[in-house]
Structure 1
Amino acid sequence: MNKIFFLLLIIILTSCKSDFEIVDDLSKTNYNLVDQNNNSISFPQVAKGKISVIGYIFTNCPDICPLTTNNMRLIQEKLKKEKIDNVQFISISFDPLQDKPETLKKFAEVRNLDLSNWIFLTGEKKVIDSLMSRVKILAVKSDSTVFKDGRKIYYYVHTDRIQLMDRENKILKNYKGSSINIDEIINDIKKIK
């Protein structure tokens, strides 16, 4: 009798196992940010009830961030083509001193991005730094450029990441943003859809 009970218990427990281990649970966190239209946004609550694809960028990035953004665009287009909805795209800048809402808006416009289910977020440096620490995004200032008007911008050596977050604001998986396998993340979204 005990052997049968334990065998059934093992079968039940292994069959209920998710394809994903939770990387981080953001459901009890709250970061007050602003979007590209300067609207106050509570992250990650803005995505509650939706699957989210999250990229971490800065708009002056010469290499990784444009690739990450383009890959997110490709994911968005493929999901629409496959008629998979209720997916929120979120790009968060880790350079809030340069990436003001209007800068993020222009960044999206220049790339002709579909903002119907995609938001760009920034906020106060202290809040952004706290969020980046939480989601393990490292961004270290490196080279800088000084413009004729005296304005100085920094470039960053940073973590190359896209994250998949479920409807309950739990991060399920990390991907290399600049070279993500589009089919892999689409299949992962289908698994949690």
Structure 2
Amino acid sequence: MKKKSIMLIGILVISSLLGACGSYKFEPTLNIEVEDFSLTNQNNKEVSLNDLKGKPWLAMFIFTNCTTVCPPMTFNMTEIQTALQDKDIKDYNIVAFSVDPEVDTPEVLTNYLKSYSVADKSKWQLLTGYKQEYIEQFARKSFNSLVKKSPNSDQVVHMSRFYLVNADGQVVKDYDGTTDVPMETIVADMKALTK
């Protein structure tokens, strides 16, 4: 009986050690190429797809006058960044495309970001400086994502997803950005892509 107990404890110890040895395997679920762009960020600087290549990035579509999903999405992204810092993950960017570019000037986007507790603002690119039609087709072609401005409202319909883009500029995964945010999975995926 004692021998069996010792053996069982040994098996449990070995299996827990194997489980902790980084057995997580990144599995892409999407393969969409982000089309080339050169847009203006919150600091009034040009940011291109080429500038972002070489590091993975998390993308989202938001706008500053949003009364529904954007505030929780932005808050959740700040929480993800804190979790990335806690795991000492440094080589990444966070990119937010405004779906209301006429309202969201660089100055407006800067003020929007100031209203959140952001661990490292240097990682954030809040992009604008294009026509409404551009962002609607760009979201569809590059992220398979819906963006549609209502003609009778100041609100813009858009998806509340976070998109993981690899270092080559391909969307490889997406996640819920509002209520069921898989924080641990996002951090593990980012870690896998920064190796």
- With structure 2 as the length reference, what TM-score do the two structures score? 0.78
Matched residues in 1 for 2:146 and 2:162: separation?
13
Matched residues in 1 for 2:29 and 2:182: separation?
19
Q: Which runs of 4+ in 1 moved over 6 A?
A: none
Secondary structure of the structure 1 residue equivalent to 2:94: strand
Larger strand percent? 1
The Cα shift of 1:105 comes to 0.7
Task: State percent identity of aligned pairs.
Answer: 32
The Cα shift of 1:124 comes to 1.2
Corresponding residue for residue 39 of structure 2: 33
The Cα shift of 1:141 comes to 3.1
Q: Which runs of 5+ in 1 are unaligned?
A: 1-16, 145-153
Corresponding residue for residue 6 of structure 2: none
Secondary structure of the structure 2 residue equivalent to 1:105: helix
C-alpha change, 1:141 and 1:25, in structure 2 (3 Å) is closer
Matched residues in 2 for 1:174 and 1:80: separation?
21
Matched residues in 1 for 2:193 and 2:130: separation?
33
Cα distance per residue 1:62-92 (max 9 Å; x no partner) = 1211111111101111111111110111111
The higher radius of gyration belongs to 2
Secondary structure of the structure 1 residue equivalent to 2:66: coil
Structure 2: which amino acid aligns with 1:88? N
Corresponding residue for residue 191 of structure 1: 192
The Cα shift of 1:131 comes to 1.5
Q: Does structure 2 conserve the Cα–Cα contact (< 8 Å) formed by 1:31 and 1:131?
A: no
Q: Does 1:136 align with 2:141?
A: no
The Cα shift of 1:98 comes to 0.9
Q: Does structure 1 conserve the Cα–Cα contact (< 8 Å) formed by 2:140 and 2:147?
A: no
The Cα shift of 1:177 comes to 1.1
The Cα shift of 1:156 comes to 2.1
Matched residues in 1 for 2:39 and 2:94: separation?
15
* Residues 112-123 of structure 1: pairs in structure 2 closer than 5 A: 112-113=117-118, 114-123=120-129
Structure 1: which amino acid aligns with 2:174? N
Quote the RMSD (CA, aligned, Å).
Answer: 1.8
Matched residues in 1 for 2:90 and 2:182: separation?
20
* Residues 1-193 of structure 1: pairs in structure 2 closer than 5 A: 19-26=27-34, 29-42=35-48, 44-113=49-118, 114-125=120-131, 126-134=133-141, 135-142=143-150, 144=153, 154-179=154-179, 180-193=181-194
Q: Does structure 2 conserve the Cα–Cα contact (< 8 Å) formed by 1:31 and 1:127?
A: no
Secondary structure of the structure 2 residue equivalent to 1:178: coil
